[in-house]
Amino acid sequence: MATFTREEFYQQLLSGCVLPTAQQGFEQVWTLLLLCLACRLLWRLALPSYAKHLSTVAGGFYALYHFFQLQMVWVVLLSLLCYLVLFLCRHSSQRGVLLSITILIYLLMGEMHMVDTVTWHKMRGAQMIVAMKAVSLGFDLDRGEVPSIPSPVEFMGYIYFVGTVIFGPWFRFRTYLQAVESRRMSFSWFQKVCRSGFLSLVCLVLSTCVAPYFFSYFIPLYSYKLLRKWLRAYESASSFHFSNYFVGFLSETTATLAGAGFTEEKDHLRWDLTVSRPLNVELPRSMVEVVTSWNLPMSRWLNCYVFKNSLKLGTFSAIIVTYAASALLHGLSFHLAAVLLSLGFITYIEHVLRKRLSVIFNACILSKKCQPGCSHRHNTDLWVRLLNFLFGALAVFHLAYLGSLFDMDADDSVEEQGYGMSYTIYKWSELSWASHWVTFGCWVFYRLIS
């Protein structure tokens, strides 16, 4: 935007950004919302189960075509390949591992050889959901949590569930079966859909219209030249954060609208699907809290199917394997891999340092908040609160540094193809590699007090 007075800026912001952004956001997703509602209404009828599965496959196919046109064939190929592997290995006890290897090879070949980078990155979210669902089903079959291999129509219904096929979130196969049974359409269900839909539009507006101008107009601090780079990094990080919350709340909306995302307590249904917890990210206790609150379903998936299966390698190795798996799911993008692997080191060092300090001081200063009635002597002392606040401020510092890579001023074509190594090094060197140096200092301090 050009230079405006404060009053002119707010007028221009409302008419030139807020309203058009909200309108365009709704225009992009209203078809998907109608599909989800149509499937929900259809499943309320007394249809045979195979008809319900076929209807969600049809809805999922239409949604994929609406967003990706004929490029959807790469998502379809992945799903067919996954069921073929599942069927051929039906007597194996390593179906989860075999599916993981197959999906990894497919994603790597697609990224490097089969499809151009821009096209592949557009489908990355849908590919990720298919991969996560297939891998989780494979491991659940191995563990006996799913008694037998689903029929082709059940498997495809799960993969192409209309409420999650575009934006997610991931959930288990049994959750899908509960969704197509179609529980009663209650006021609490409608309230959850409206709340999540409204919050998704709010986050879209904040990402596009507020975060980029936070320190230039809302809290004018750009006059402090020494802080300017860090303020810009924080704005870029915040814009990226709220774009993630937009997708998270939108996925809550579509999944709930299609009938998924509830817990059952006796005869009472609670529509309580939660994908992201923005306050835990923007005002964090620790980086550990940030990575779990960023995307709760994906965090559960990584913990259940990657981290726990890798623990035999050791805790640190399991953490690195988990973040490496997350990086591969997000695509072969150097800046994403750099951010995720940096997060692995940061969260591990923060965890072991705070664990050691909690033992030395006998205080509640762990990465995760202690449960009521914990054995620590110091729980709510002023110095304990101050120390937790300082660790939270350090987490915000790390987030601004890592988020500086998602520059709002970057060229769209570069963003679509993924930022390269030179861009990543340039952005972090601008900030003097501060977060990495601080992390290294924390590790040295931890070794000294150990």
CA distance 159 to 388: 42
How many Cβ atoms sit within 10 Å of the Cβ of residue 245? 24
- Sequence-distant (≥ 6) Cβ neighbours of residue 256 within 8 angstroms: 163, 189, 192, 193, 196, 262, 271, 273
CA distance 373 to 335: 42
CA distance 55 to 163: 12
Q: Which helix (H) or strand (E) holds 270?
A: strand 268-270
* In the block, residue with structure tokens 């973040």: 323
Using DSSP, how many helices (H) and how many strands (E) does the chain show?
21, 2
| DSSP code of residue 150 | P
CA distance 343 to 302: 14
Say if CB 38 and CB 59 are below 8 A apart. yes
pLDDT of residue 1: 47
- 413 pLDDT above the threshold of 60: no
- Sequence-distant (≥ 6) Cβ neighbours of residue 179 within 8 angstroms: 161, 163, 258, 259, 260
- Sequence-distant (≥ 6) Cβ neighbours of residue 90 within 8 angstroms: 149
For the record, the structure tokens of 335 come out as 């800046």
- Residue 410's pLDDT band, with cuts at 50, 70 and 90, is low
pLDDT tens, position by position, 108-148: 888 777 777 777 778 888 999 999 999 999 999 999 999 99
Out of 100-104, 211-215, 388-392, pick the least confident.
211-215
Mean pLDDT of the chain: 90
- Sequence-distant (≥ 6) Cβ neighbours of residue 327 within 8 angstroms: 336, 337, 340, 341
**How many residues in total does the chain contain?**
450
What is the model's pTM? Answer: 0.92
- Mean pLDDT over 291-295 rounds to 94
pLDDT of residue 223: 66
CA distance 345 to 318: 12
Say if CB 315 and CB 347 are below 8 A apart. no
CA distance 276 to 186: 24
What's the one-letter identity of residue 172? R
Say if CB 237 and CB 406 are below 8 A apart. yes
CA distance 256 to 189: 7
How many Cβ atoms sit within 10 Å of the Cβ of residue 317? 12
Q: What values do phi and psi take at 380, rounded to 5?
A: -120, 20
CA distance 129 to 211: 28
CA distance 167 to 251: 5
Residue 363, strand partner residues = 378
pLDDT of residue 418: 57
Q: Please give the radius of gyration of the chain, using alpha carbons only, rounded to the nearest integer.
A: 23
Say if CB 322 and CB 309 are below 8 A apart. no
Say if CB 71 and CB 292 are below 8 A apart. no
Percentage, residues of the chain above pLDDT 90: 65
- 240 pLDDT above the threshold of 90: yes
- Mean pLDDT over 308-315 rounds to 88
- 197 pLDDT above the threshold of 60: yes
- Mean pLDDT over 187-212 rounds to 94
Q: Before 48, cis peptide (omega within 30)? A: no
**Beta strands 263-265 and 268-270, pairing class:** antiparallel
CA distance from start to end of the chain: 52
How many Cβ atoms sit within 10 Å of the Cβ of residue 382? 8
Active site residues: 330
Where b means 16+ CB within 10 Å and e means fewer, 101-135 reads: ebbeebbeebbeeebeeeebbebbbbbbbbbbbbb
CA distance 296 to 276: 6
